Structure 1
């Protein structure tokens, strides 16, 4: 098989959560353990940092990768889902895994695929771990796919665990209350391995404290270690003045990630940096500041409050659940524009009825459906949205919705694309 045939085979033969939903989620780590055993347990052959959370884990993973890259370490990065190319999931120093490696790996694992029938995600995790081991990375930043405790990535023993925040998402799998969801995410906390919690949330704080205490894992709440003294937003850059609560040290951070919501993620990254420095990683302050100002260039991160055009200002954001949409709406309150056009679509298993009331009623909506079985019908979405006072039309394809929004927008308007990774991916 060539590369395209190999990727088609992976999509068609293996159950893929992003396409079909919960039926692709395996409720144990058996397949991942077995696949990795056949590869000689590559997950034990490199150092790692494990990142979980409902929102912000992708941005946080990319920021941490940028820090290590900028400091001269050979840095692996495993994230999901991808936007345009399967290989975005597996990178070293910002470079995607080669097509040749993907083809060779799938060929090598063919007998195991046929006997174990792994999910798409299980095989991809094994592929990433094997690549990082063979390439002898100094460290790999590993983003959890879903949850934590039963996620395929949870067979590593990292140098550090990071949990970004907890909100309602994938409740049919992770639980219906925040403490239940937090308990699943806390599954990445390992014995004696420090853990950073980026955001203190009173309802679930004790879940993390208790789990960390039980495992003897030193715990750090980043937003208790850093105080935000100033924020400034200019030319697609976020500038933050932060003070360390213990030492009183002031830090001025400029980042090319422009979403206001990155503030919480940055505090988590800074707390992680302090712990890693103490553990002996050479991450000088100036290197960290430089890395945070060039995250996109270093790592290839896309789709986080990403400005793709001006006149009209056109923004892509992969925010897709309650917390993500709340952050997007708060961001919009800081923007100056004449009228807002929102291109959006969701997948069926999102709690769309909880998300729709968060959207501004003064915008014009372009409802659409991504090309995957899990996607919600655009007409059904438009009707639901109408019940929440959101006005707009339904479009057969994402491109049709986006092109219409661009045509109807005045140069002083904003066109925002959000609601699902897959909507943003298709527009790209």
Structure 2
């Protein structure tokens, strides 16, 4: 576009992976803000408003700034047939350049090698845990997916690597070695303690506490710490903890009820869903009541198989209006793969929330609404998150 090459004028950090990209990016942004940096953050997708994708020091890009960009480049966007994500990426990079951020944290949209964000020349790259997702685009081979995501690795630029399955770890290390990219493995994480208000853990950088809940958040937090220390080795432990304390990242095992143990999580693949349930079981020592709705492009077979015996009760719901699989379609998958009797289809979506509330009230079990970012508005409206 005729806005030039704003990414050439920016210091950036590029983050890819299957699970944890957003949480890691958010915690990293908070740590760097705590260290005094002016931080741009580009993430996707949004939960409620498009503006959430582009922020500077937690302030969302304004509607006026969005309109100004689109008005200025409308004809060119049409002429070159720029996609939604390509346009959004240019908007973010242009905005960060204009507002003179000290560092911009850029989350990959999908994959890595061919992603629109891969135009940047980052100071650091990072890869969070890799598992199967978006198979219709990235394929069913975990090593092929790892290679696609490793496409963000740059010659002579350090890579921070989250803990991976051994074959994925070896694959990424081999690619990094060919690029002369030094790899910072986050290492062992121990003393993990989950509570209803956060996650305590110990890494090679010390003991910390994150307000984000879950075993996986100990790894995401440690990855964010590793990136921050690689970017600026002078950032101390107290600055890191202050940054973690200030992290706000909705939809990640987020407690959405004041007086009931009910949570919302955007996990939408088998690995993410399993670690979410494992975390909630660890806190409450009981299986959760679950409401689940999933987009049709996910591996429903894999997800439904992974949920066997992982719930107290399961409510299947959906919404064609929200680009989610219909409740009836989804129910067929889960019923076929489940030997559990306590499974129910509920339509419309909003009714499933009432059923969950009643079940949590009448039992000692927690509740989770999960499966998609697309549920966020309905969930937040129901539970008054923004009121």
TM-score (norm 2): 0.92
Distance in 2, matches of 1:254 and 1:372, equals: 39
Name the SS for the 1:203 alignment partner.
Answer: helix
Aligned residues: 376
Q: Partner of 1:395 in structure 2? A: 346
SS in 2 for 1:304: coil
Residue 200 of structure 2 is aligned to residue 239 of structure 1: yes
| Aligned-pair CA distance for 1:425 | 3.7
Name 1:28's counterpart in structure 2: none
Is 1:347 paired with 2:295?
yes
Aligned-pair CA distance for 1:310: 4.3
Find out whether 1:404 has 2:359 as its counterpart.
no
In 2, the alpha carbon distance for the partners of 1:96 and 1:230 equals 36
Does the aligned pair in 2 maintain the 1:329–1:359 contact within 8 Å? Answer: no
Return 197-206 or 321-330, whichever deviates more: 197-206
Residue 51 of structure 1 contacts residue 161 of structure 1 at CA under 8 Å; is this kept in 2?
yes
- CA distances 1:18-68 after superposition (whole Å, capped 9, x unpaired): xxxxxxxxxxxxxxxxx3xx1111111211100000000000000110011
Q: 1:202 aligns with which of 145, 166, 177?
A: 166
What is the CA–CA distance in structure 2 between the aligned matches of 1:157 and 1:370, rounded to whole Å?
A: 40
Shift of 1:337: 6.4
Matched, 1:256 2:233: no
Map 1:17-416 to 2 at 5 A. 35=1, 38-223=2-187, 227-242=188-203, 244=204, 251-278=206-233, 282-296=234-248, 301-336=249-284, 340-361=288-309, 362-372=311-321, 374-389=323-338, 390=340, 391-410=342-361, 412-416=364-368
CA contact 1:337–1:414 (8 Å) conserved in 2: no
Post-superposition offset of 1:275 = 1.6
What is the DSSP-based 3-state SS (H/G/I as helix, E as strand, rest coil) of the residue aligned with 2:232?
A: helix
Matched, 1:427 2:382: no
What is the alpha-carbon distance in structure 2 between the residues aligned to residue 205 and residue 100 of structure 1?
44
> In 1, Cα distance between the equivalents of 2:36 and 2:155?
29
Aligned partner of residue 199 in structure 1, secondary structure = coil
Question: What's the offset of the Cα at 1:234?
Answer: 3.0
Inter-CA distance 222–341: structure 2 relative to 1 (3 Å threshold): same
Flag the 1:108–1:319 CA change in 2: closer, same or farther, 3 A: same
Instruction: Note closer, same or farther for the CA distance 1:169–1:98 as it changes in structure 2 (3 Å cut).
Output: same
RMSD: 1.8
Greater than 6 Å deviation, 4+ residue runs? none
Please tell me whether the aligned partners of residues 417 and 424 of structure 1 are also in contact (alpha carbons under 8 angstroms): no
CA distance in 2, matches of 1:276, 1:213: 20
Consecutive unaligned residues in structure 2, runs of 5 or more: 381-387
On the 8 A contact 2:186/2:226 being kept in 1, the answer is: yes
- DSSP 3-state at the match of 1:49: strand
Measure the CA separation in 2 of the matches of 1:189 and 1:356: 34
CA shift at 1:254, angstroms?
Answer: 1.1
Deviation at 1:154, TM superposition (A): 0.5
Matches of 2:174 and 2:202 in 1, distance apart? 32
Counterpart-to-counterpart distance in 2, 1:274 and 1:409: 42
- What is the TM-score with the length of structure 1 in the denominator? 0.84
Aligned-partner Cα distance in 2 for 1:173–1:406: 37
Structure 1, unpaired ranges of 5+: 1-34, 245-249
Question: 2:119 aligns to what SS in structure 1?
Answer: coil
Contact 1:370–1:422 (8 Å) recurs in 2: no
Asked whether the equivalents of residues 341 and 363 of structure 1 are also in contact (C-alpha less than 8 Å), the reply is yes
Q: Is the 8 A contact 1:312 1:413 kept in 2?
A: no
Q: Secondary structure at the match of 1:261?
A: helix
